[in-house]
């Protein structure tokens, strides 16, 4: 409610809330900078949380995104609103995170790719909320590169070609990684403990 009041008040003077935030941060106003960080975290958290399998990665990535936004703030031209601009940075940083994590994986080439996982019939009987929670639990126990590859492809709808280019891998290597990830996901999905 207070933010809406401030936005209305600021617009009456010709200065939007976002312009006030940007100019305050650039003027090194600590209170406004804290407000900027708070807004950024509020915008970014749901986006990042639903795309990373492990909670401990979320906080680190949010800090990285907010820091990048703060550093790039002098180049903010105001052509888009501040939230959209920050979310654009978040999308790029998330892609960077996926790329980093997948590159770190040293897979042995002698493993044969498994066939694609078939969605268990039980999944069809669960309601959407329960299924999403279970998917999150399974992703959280997968090796991190597998979880990130699956999220990158299915939630972020990246093609294998895009993923391979971003990760600096061949398409064949990315296909093998995804095949292993699907098989691992399928096996853990079938476990009673999840």
pLDDT tens string 61-112: 999 999 999 999 998 887 888 999 999 999 999 988 888 888 776 554 334 4
CATH topology of domain 2-104: Rna Polymerase Sigma Factor; Chain: A (1.10.1740)
- Supply the mean pLDDT for the chain: 79
Indicate yes or no: pTM above 0.75. Answer: no
Q: Where are the domains of the chain?
A: 2-104, 121-190
Q: What is the 3-state secondary structure (H, E, C) of the chain?
A: CHHHHHHHHHHHCCCCHHHHHHHHHHCCCHHHHHHHHHHHHHHHHHHHHCCCCCHHHHHHHHHHHHHHHHHHHHHCCCCCCHHHHHHHHHHHHHHHHHHHHHHHCCCCCCCCCCCCCCCCHHHHHCCHHHHHHHHHHHHHHCCHHHHHHHHHHHCCCCCHHHHHHHHCCCHHHHHHHHHHHHHHHHHHHHCCCC
Q: Which CATH number fits domain 121-190: 1.10.10.10, 3.30.70.270, 2.40.340.10, 3.30.1490.190?
A: 1.10.10.10
pLDDT tens string 15-29: 578 888 888 889 988
């Amino acid at each position: 409610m207070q933010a809406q009041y401030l936005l209305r008040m600021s617009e009456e003077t010709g200065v939007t809330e976002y312009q006030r935030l940007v100019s305050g941060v650039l003027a090194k106003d600590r209170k406004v900078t804290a407000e900027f960080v708070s807004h950024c975290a509020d915008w970014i958290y749901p986006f990042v949380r639903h795309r990373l399998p492990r909670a401990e990665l979320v906080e680190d990535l949010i800090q990285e995104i907010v820091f990048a936004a703060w550093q790039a703030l002098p180049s903010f031209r105001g052509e888009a609103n501040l939230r959209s601009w920050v979310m654009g940075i978040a999308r790029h940083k998330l892609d960077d995170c996926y790329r980093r994590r997948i590159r770190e994986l040293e897979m042995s080439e002698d493993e044969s790719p498994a066939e694609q996982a078939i969605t268990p019939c039980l999944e069809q009987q669960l309601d959407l909320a329960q299924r999403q929670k279970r998917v999150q639990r399974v992703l959280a126990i997968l090796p991190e590169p597998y979880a990130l590859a699956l999220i990158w492809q299915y939630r972020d709808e990246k093609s294998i070609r895009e993923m391979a280019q971003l990760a600096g891998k061949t398409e064949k290597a990315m296909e093998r990684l995804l095949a292993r990830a699907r098989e691992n996901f399928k096996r853990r999905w079938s476990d009673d403990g999840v």
